[in-house]
Chains A and B, each alone.
Chain A
């Protein structure tokens, strides 16, 4: 078997493994869909009245932001799963097999795409109920969906590295929620960057979350795109180019 077809076949076997596990861990699935829904309701109905978004209904402004945040955190399943695999010795088993060295990680990150598609559908459904509407062409809306899934995939590689450096799922959890989660708030996801104090504002402007959120807004709501859309795709490529090799390198030496 050629090394490429081996990598593809091994990745599919492992992605299949991850997908089989999902319905058997209903708690994970619930956390995965209920939490973003809670966020939508919280922001629209609790904070929404207090946040000024000139030119938009808050729910229209919010939905792209909250969807980008949830999708980026979809990869969290990868961090939890990998740290558990390390702890339980499964990574040792995989590393002793004549399989592709990237397949365990690629299997994880690619099965995240399906989970993310699911969470996107749930979020949009809740968004419509809360009053969200697209204001764009079907082609641009779909490009927005592609961008979201690509960004989610890129973030899965970030979380793959987090998972491999965490000695337990609990550690992965705390790295995710103390180091990465706050980054999503220091962006244009929930409030306009213009309303932020100096310092934070400059940070938010260069934060890739802002770029991606603004790109999705332009694709879904028809706001001026400027360079955001292609910059957003570029960010995804850059994240993968940095984190995928780091994660694979870590995988080759990791031990419980």
Chain B
């Protein structure tokens, strides 16, 4: 059973097996072109595999949007050290719930993607780092890995090709920061999730001090279709400079929230009105988050003409992010939204660097005060000031991720902060005192 009805407007490439009976089973996978891309890749030169991924214009689906083929080309293939593949299935960016489906419904596609990545950089071992809350996915993934070993799709001399590859799952234990690539590697090594200084980047010094390809689940799952049908076919699905589709998690005030696979460049308003079935209760759109709570918010006016791709969002000073779309209607209190978002970052800050640790804590405190009716006019500017002073001054991007949405909310919805002061406190509902510390 799928969690939500598919939409006829989808372009189902990565999700094409979702909903098939026993879609996670090896037999189903093999019956639907499974492992054909691996067979093809075995006959290709490693640099041609990397090149095909470059041609596909695949950009990292974990949030930062870095070109995947380029990232792979940074791995020193001929280094005497072992090379590793690490898949980021930490999926904790608020609004995002798509990697979960890729593992639940099609774990072999992810295994095949790892095998091909291994061929590209001469890696023979990999780990899938799965957030601790997704325990059932670890069982599904372990089962698929077990089946692959049993039928000779993992292990030594895979299908007589002479290729060796070992793959393991690794559980997280509850920490958003461990989705950040270098913190993830620390966590994988059995440490606190405090990020590493870069350079060197993981491609050169990654897991266990060895060159590592580290990609999001969706990026790796895109690799089999790219190799099978050619990079150009994938590129053609999207827009110039950004190929393919994006699993988009529609959340918030729409009639049909759900995860939908849409071409890059899909119009925002069509996504809300047609894929999402329009605004809930016929309300008006007020604010829009394109890809997880770390992105600056757009106003309804800014959504007009916007499309779901990197350039369109960058032109609106936001980001495509992780695919976690959050739709807010006219009844949403933006002070409350800002507070809830900041509580998250304050809770998840790893505490390593002061601008982030103190910045998120103070922003949270000021927002609580504000929402409880004890704010002052200076506080509005203070919020913007503190947030702007965090930008670019933190050890990892979590600081920016906390500051950016706050700055955009204060700038774009300033009148709601003023309403809170002018004896018209929250026109909506009062937030209770924050519980999480």
- Do they bind each other? no
Which B residues lie at the A interface, using CB under 8 A? none
